[in-house]
Structure 1
Amino acid sequence: MIDHHHRLVQRKVQFDYSDSPLHWIPGEAEASHVINVIHMMLPAGELWFCRLYNKALPFVKDARLRDDVQGFIRQEAMHSRAHSGALERYLSVHNIDSSKYLKVMDYLFEQLLSDTPFGYQLFNRRPWLQRWWIGQRCAIVAAVEHFTCVLGKWILEADALDRAKADPVLLDLFRWHGAEEVEHRNVAHDLHVHLGGSFVSRQLWMFVVWPLIVWLFAFGTRTIARQDPSLTKPRGFFAIWRDSAKRGLLPRISSVATSFLRYFKPWYHPDHEANTQEALDYLARSPAASRAARA
């Protein structure tokens, strides 16, 4: 673990989407849809993080790391709640049916990555296997959290979204979330190391996580775009990503690919991926986080 320590707190944010348009980046329907996929992708996954980490807690012997893990759980639970709210009070209001996408997410987390994959009860009957499976899934979280940190840093610094006059409510939602991803970026990696997880297992799971995340974004973008009456002929995901990134509305493909390669360095640690103070500075001026702090 790193030498300095920042205590993680839950910020009970709330958002009012009543004036937020589906194309929350004005004139940029496709880029809006790519980022809106997060509302469909994250609620189930982040609740799965919380359930998994609660099962990992009894194996955490370091008091500081235990506090970090508990703070991580509280923050991820709030992320899930916030994006579920956007799904119900924002995307659904704009007639976006996400049921097919949510079925995929439920299958992923309730079947493939559950405590008993495909109902295979041997995991419950063998404590050592149960412990091993917790460790493997913590390696998956570490890989995911690498990308959420990278994306969180990007959206904190994405001035193009301000110049495009993006909807302030949704921009605050994504930046609040991104700031907290930067804030707790070390926890998943440190937990996996503490549990005895190896460098090799983290690298192997990254080869699963990377294409899965890209596919989920592509599938989600297609799901939303096909229901958008303003898009008569929706384009492919990579074409959207490339063109939107040129305007600064999405992270550049090259920067995301470079971050993927950095994960394989033997000396990799997520602390070097971003700056905690940058995240805290935004959280201090975030409208939603400020309201939560006053409450």
Structure 2
Amino acid sequence: MAAPDTVYTGLLLYRLDGVVFHSLHVPFGRRSCSILAGQWKWLICRRRVDEEPTHIDIWLIGQIKSPSGALLSLPLDHFEEPCPCGGTMHSIPIKPRKVAFDVSSVPRHWNGGDPVLTRFFDALSVHFPEGERFFIQSVRHFQDQVTDTRLRDDIRHFIRQEGQHGIVHDRFNDVMASQGVDVEKVTANLRLFIRTTQKYLPKKYQLAMTAAFEHFTATLGEAMISDENDMFRQADPVMRALFLWHGVEEVEHKAVAYDLYQGAAGGGYLTRASALVVATLMVHLVVAPVFWNMLRLDGVTRQPGVILRGLNKLYGRKGILTGMLPEFLAWFRPGFHPWDTGMPEQVAAWLEEYEAHGDPMRASQVIYGPATVGEAA
């Protein structure tokens, strides 16, 4: 379990948002320890070499389940083999999931009947497949330079997850095409834009942009399942489950491109900071015209009141995107790391429910309650 010169001087119990709740000093070799569990589900171990360590690794050991406030006595060998995480807190290991959703009966305005909210997410969705392929290509440029086994595994699973995202959103894009959306033109335009980017921008900058986009999607994913956000409260259950599955996996692999950029690519702060500025501009320049054309196709552009109410839900004082700003802007902090926000409790709840039965529809009910629609295909 550990190298001979390694001494475990403490076990740290983390709350799911990453806040340290309690520290238990358990010397390496002890077979069990007592832990106050309840809502504190992730057992973290701190490795120290000698009495005055020069480096600290945070290792994920396992998940604890108990009724609230119960006192557990758990054998240490009950947990999975610890995984070194390069000095930063990591989530559970990234797991690709093959899922499918029956989107054939999804209503046109599936997000609570609101055309603006619906078409905002539709405009993102139509760009996801080509965008995911760009992310995969950007990561692959540096994949062979990685020596850390854990990061190599994470990259491999990241690629599989992103590939599955593209497949699922391609299927929904077929539904939008049947509604009159010119998906082929949108895709061709984005593909040309990406090829131009790849032609003129250095590979390191492409990776920095990928890390920046991943920060946006992970922040959006965390907002999707926040108790303070009703982003999909009134949404069609199938689409709600689809976006929640995508959002959870974005949180799950949110640090992969960042760690690759900081490590193998040797990226620095200024490039990273500028990449998010460029990525944010690109999202608005590329996605906004498609968003507007979708609204025009629905006849909504002739209804200014509907548009203003919808935009207020996105950009208003209590809007979806406005509420993401503190976490989004944390990117510009010099010492930032994607896992600074830890593992949100709702994400962990979704993952636990999915692991129980492998059904994203049922897993989404943990977040938003029961749905009265058929299961995902």
Picking from 294, 314, 320, the partner of 1:224 is 294
Query: Aligned partners of 2:248, 2:167: CA distance in 1, in Å?
Result: 16
Matched letter for residue 263 of structure 1: W
Query: Aligned partners of 1:263, 1:276: CA distance in 2, in Å?
Result: 18
Tell me: CA distance 1:163–1:156, structure 2 relative to 1, closer, same or farther (3 Å). closer
**1:189-225 CA-partner distances (Å, limit 9, x unpaired):** 1110112111111012122111111233322211211
Q: Do structure 1's residue 7 and structure 2's residue 7 form an aligned pair?
A: no
Q: Which runs of 5+ in 1 are unaligned?
A: 119-131
Q: Do structure 1's residue 34 and structure 2's residue 103 form an aligned pair?
A: no
Q: Sequence identity, in percent?
A: 28
Contact 1:149/1:185, CA 8 A, preserved across alignment: yes
Alignment match, 2:178: 93
Matched letter for residue 97 of structure 1: D
Query: Aligned partners of 2:169, 2:216: CA distance in 1, in Å?
Result: 18
1:104 shift after superposition:
2.2
Query: Aligned partners of 1:258, 1:235: CA distance in 2, in Å?
Result: 29
Query: Aligned partners of 1:222, 1:215: CA distance in 2, in Å?
Result: 11
Matched letter for residue 60 of structure 1: V
Relative CO higher for 1 or 2, CA cutoff 8 Å, sep ≥ 6? 1
Query: Aligned partners of 1:237, 1:64: CA distance in 2, in Å?
Result: 48
Query: Aligned partners of 2:160, 2:149: CA distance in 1, in Å?
Result: 17
**1:131-176 CA-partner distances (Å, limit 9, x unpaired):** x932221111111111111100111226524542x10000101010
Tell me: CA distance 1:48–1:149, structure 2 relative to 1, closer, same or farther (3 Å). same
Secondary structure, counterpart of 2:104 in structure 1: coil
Contact 1:156/1:175, CA 8 A, preserved across alignment: yes
Alignment match, 1:209: 279
Alignment match, 2:338: 270
Alignment match, 1:198: 268
Matched letter for residue 251 of structure 1: I
Q: Do structure 1's residue 23 and structure 2's residue 109 form an aligned pair?
A: yes
1:4 shift after superposition:
4.2
Alignment match, 2:155: 69
1:243 shift after superposition:
1.6
Task: Choose 1 or 2 for highest CA Rg.
Answer: 2
Matched letter for residue 156 of structure 2: Q
Q: For the aligned residues, what is the CA RMSD?
A: 3.0
1:238 shift after superposition:
8.7
Query: Aligned partners of 1:33, 1:267: CA distance in 2, in Å?
Result: 36
Picking from 326, 332, 347, the partner of 1:279 is 347
1:46 shift after superposition:
0.3
| Bigger mean CA offset, 57-66 vs 102-111 | 102-111
* Count of residues paired in the alignment: 273
Query: Aligned partners of 2:310, 2:146: CA distance in 1, in Å?
Result: 40
Matched letter for residue 182 of structure 1: V
Picking from 258, 262, 275, the partner of 1:189 is 258
Q: Do structure 1's residue 143 and structure 2's residue 212 form an aligned pair?
A: yes
Alignment match, 1:82: 168
Secondary structure, counterpart of 1:92 in structure 2: helix
Larger strand fraction of residues: 2
Contact 1:11/1:75, CA 8 A, preserved across alignment: yes
Picking from 145, 148, 151, the partner of 1:59 is 145
Contact 1:43/1:84, CA 8 A, preserved across alignment: yes
Tell me: CA distance 1:277–1:261, structure 2 relative to 1, closer, same or farther (3 Å). closer
Query: Aligned partners of 2:306, 2:339: CA distance in 1, in Å?
Result: 31
Larger helix fraction of residues: 1
Contact 2:181/2:294, CA 8 A, preserved across alignment: yes
1:277 shift after superposition:
4.8
Query: Aligned partners of 2:144, 2:285: CA distance in 1, in Å?
Result: 34
**1:246-274 CA-partner distances (Å, limit 9, x unpaired):** 89996142x34433431111111110235
Query: Aligned partners of 1:216, 1:262: CA distance in 2, in Å?
Result: 24
Q: Do structure 1's residue 106 and structure 2's residue 202 form an aligned pair?
A: no
Tell me: CA distance 1:228–1:238, structure 2 relative to 1, closer, same or farther (3 Å). closer
| Bigger mean CA offset, 95-104 vs 174-183 | 95-104
Tell me: CA distance 1:53–1:83, structure 2 relative to 1, closer, same or farther (3 Å). same
Q: Which runs of 5+ in 2 are unaligned?
A: 1-85, 364-376
Matched letter for residue 211 of structure 1: L
Contact 1:136/1:201, CA 8 A, preserved across alignment: yes
